[in-house]
Structure 1
């Protein structure tokens, strides 16, 4: 997967630095080579000897080492690799990158490189959600820096939330995707996500209770396997993943148009919670109470069925995956939906209020295909996405 690829790995200072040792091993197992750079803070968590032993290469630490400058200057070092990877990328390192600072070897290499950069953030949840970090993240993404993670979970500090560094295997997949590798390299996949908002008037709308978390995770998982992803998203709570083509929409009609424009594709994953109905008599002015006690009468019209259009229309992708959010008789309703809509697979789940799935971080799905139904255990939406992406890669192989 990474045969002959050269990775310059910058190890930042944080407890997640221990994962960099496994990352080195996995990159080498995939056929790549690693040139390690250890920050001063990183050396507080892993030793230069352990990093060097695993990488089978010299560890670079000091910007002002004259011997190293004679052998390989920092400019050459920053450009000799195929990809620069920062793992862990601490809040401080990200701030330096966003501000264009170059006061040590790691930050100088990142500023001097002409190659793509992939960062794997890792920090306390409060640091990750702090407005300053999110501003820096936005700057880096605008600059073309790729990201992988962070994940959500328990942290060394005892807190829980987003901020855990992505696992080494995830980072390797992201490296392969950044370098054009992975089992979905050369494949185009359309992913729809989030709700649609159907206006009643300028301040009110009808929508489904979708955060967009599952669709976002699927887009990221497909990207990590090398796919070129067009991500058509309604106004979701979850931010769109980096490294994909984002098409933001509001209504079902908007989404249908965006999907049609995005075709052709090798696969389409229709994870959006599209409103079945729109308000036919929506008004351009805010509806107001007039004291009469009479409620406004809303007239509804059926929205376009995007899944049917994609499944049965011209330019059909090789694989079309639909979603079925049900509250009763989940498998029966989803099986009937697959046949009615004409898609290849249906990912069905129970979104009853007591499941906590709609808007939550976990999912429990049943994958329905010609072969029957396959029940997956309850797991994180990220893991559901990875499993589904792997199945899609196998189907398109």
Structure 2
């Protein structure tokens, strides 16, 4: 009899244990899904800008308890799968694994899901008296061309020596003028010759040897205002990348671009940068997103019509491709067909081309510096090496 009682007690205990285990199983919580942000792909946010952190798939009946660093303030959402936050610092980096969330039901908690990415908090973008500026990615650009004549009024020159053209397009500068800020500068007055080295105006070492490591990121004030510099190789490349990310420019492959005749890909690494032209067949439809005016056929400044005809290749079908995108007004980089002045003194190409200097001398042609070009008749963001005494437009970028 006693044995039977013992057996009964053991059976009851086992049943209770089984039920308890079943109950525990029903309260087990999965680790929350990966944390997503409302920020752009570069995970950069301006100081004072509100953004969201969230778990895409919320589990019903679960509280989500968030952990954030002191560099962020939580405005709303604790306990839910989505919180609204804002940086509490002016600038800096919110480190990897400082933002986390656990799922909780009753007394049961999941393992913590951490965000294994850092978030960059950008200082408020610098402003510039008398010029419009805008941030793309982490860099702030002038979104109109430089129009500074220096203390004597002889630095650079307007197109056709017409002050009204300078008001529209900015002035045109030789590369020696752009890199030194000296009116009518000569090669002897320009220290940025091939193979030269030193410390740039942002305090960084450089060697003008054409390499990514030594020459792509040089910051030279030259003719630009104090705290700003002549755009370098990285600046131009980063601009095109940032615009694609921030404005949702379509195109994952060249086949995508060819199929829709719209958008562009990132057709080269940062180490290559803009060393090769961003052409239709290698990048896609690039320059129409950066123009500051429509074609003359619809009342704008760029010569021609709204499309150009391409004959086709193995990837791109023949047909008409766009020369201007309406989204360019929102992007607001505002490239205009300002033309150029040749070393001979002749002005040409107004309405057809916009030429812009780059703070770069390349291995392919160490005597001549680089320019990037937007044209009225194609979708390329092209480049080339030119006589440093030719005069082109100059945009400036805030030092970083």
| TM-score, structure 1 normalization | 0.28
| TM-score, structure 2 normalization | 0.28
Which structure has the greater CA radius of gyration? 2
Q: Flag the structure with higher helix content.
A: 1
